[in-house]
Amino acid sequence: MLQTVAEHFETWLRESRKQSGDFIVILIDKILTGAVALSASDIHFQPGRNGVEVRFRIDGVLHILGCLPLEHSGQIAARLKVFAGLLTYKVDVPQEGRVRSGRIEGIAQEMRISSAPTLFGERIVIRFFSPENQCQTIESLGFEESIQQHLHEAVARRNGAVLIVGPSGSGKTTTAYALLRELANCRETTRSIVSLEDPIEHAIDGVAQIEVSSNPDSDATKHGEKFRTLSLDRMLQYMMRQDPEVLMVGEIRERRTAEAAFQAALTGHLLISTFHGGSAAESIGRFLELGIEPFVLRSSIAFLFCQRLLRRLCSCSSKVEQQLEIRLQGKDLTVQQYFEPCGCSDCGGTGYAGRIPVAEILPLENETIARAVLERRATGIIQQLAQEQGMTLLVENVVRLIETGQTSPLEAKRVLGH
The predicted structure's pLDDT at residue 215: 54
Give the model's confidence band at 189: pLDDT under 50 very low, under 70 low, under 90 confident, else very high: confident
Residue 13 makes CB contacts below 8 A (sequence gap 6+) with 27, 66
Give the model's confidence band at 239: pLDDT under 50 very low, under 70 low, under 90 confident, else very high: very high
- Residue-wise pLDDT for 352-373, tens only, equals 999 999 999 998 888 999 999 9
- Residue-wise pLDDT for 250-259, tens only, equals 999 999 999 9
Spatial distance between the Cα atoms of 359 and 15, rounded to a whole number of angstroms: 44
Spatial distance between the Cα atoms of 146 and 169, rounded to a whole number of angstroms: 23
Location of each CATH 3.30.450.90 domain in the chain: 5-128
pTM score: 0.89
What does the pLDDT average to over 141-157?
A: 93
- Residue-wise pLDDT for 272-318, tens only, equals 999 998 999 999 999 999 999 999 999 999 999 999 999 999 999 99
Query: 139-416 sits in which CATH class?
Result: alpha beta
Spatial distance between the Cα atoms of 304 and 391, rounded to a whole number of angstroms: 12
Secondary structure class of 414 (helix, strand, coil): helix
| 101 pLDDT higher than 90 | no
The predicted structure's pLDDT at residue 123: 98
Backbone phi, then psi, for 117, in 5-degree steps? Answer: -75, 135
Residue 333 makes CB contacts below 8 A (sequence gap 6+) with 325, 326, 327, 395, 396, 399
| 216 pLDDT higher than 60 | no
Q: What angle is formed at CA 174 by the lines to CA 172 and CA 175, rounded to 5 degrees?
A: 65
What does the pLDDT average to over 260-274?
A: 95
Spatial distance between the Cα atoms of 364 and 88, rounded to a whole number of angstroms: 50
The predicted structure's pLDDT at residue 135: 64
| 331 pLDDT higher than 80 | yes
Q: Closest by alpha carbon to 362, among 295, 292, 279?
A: 279
| 248 pLDDT higher than 90 | yes
**Residue bearing the bigger pLDDT, 215 or 414:** 414
Distances (CA, A) of 217 to 76, 213, 228, 233, 241: 33, 9, 7, 11, 20
The predicted structure's pLDDT at residue 81: 96
Distances (CA, A) of 383 to 247, 370, 386: 28, 12, 5
Spatial distance between the Cα atoms of 62 and 41, rounded to a whole number of angstroms: 10
Spatial distance between the Cα atoms of 273 and 154, rounded to a whole number of angstroms: 12
Share of the chain above pLDDT 90, in %: 79
Location of each CATH 3.40.50.300 domain in the chain: 139-416
**Average pLDDT score, the chain:** 91
The predicted structure's pLDDT at residue 132: 66
The predicted structure's pLDDT at residue 357: 96
The predicted structure's pLDDT at residue 226: 44
Give the model's confidence band at 4: pLDDT under 50 very low, under 70 low, under 90 confident, else very high: confident
The predicted structure's pLDDT at residue 225: 45
CATH topology of domain 5-128: Beta-Lactamase (3.30.450)
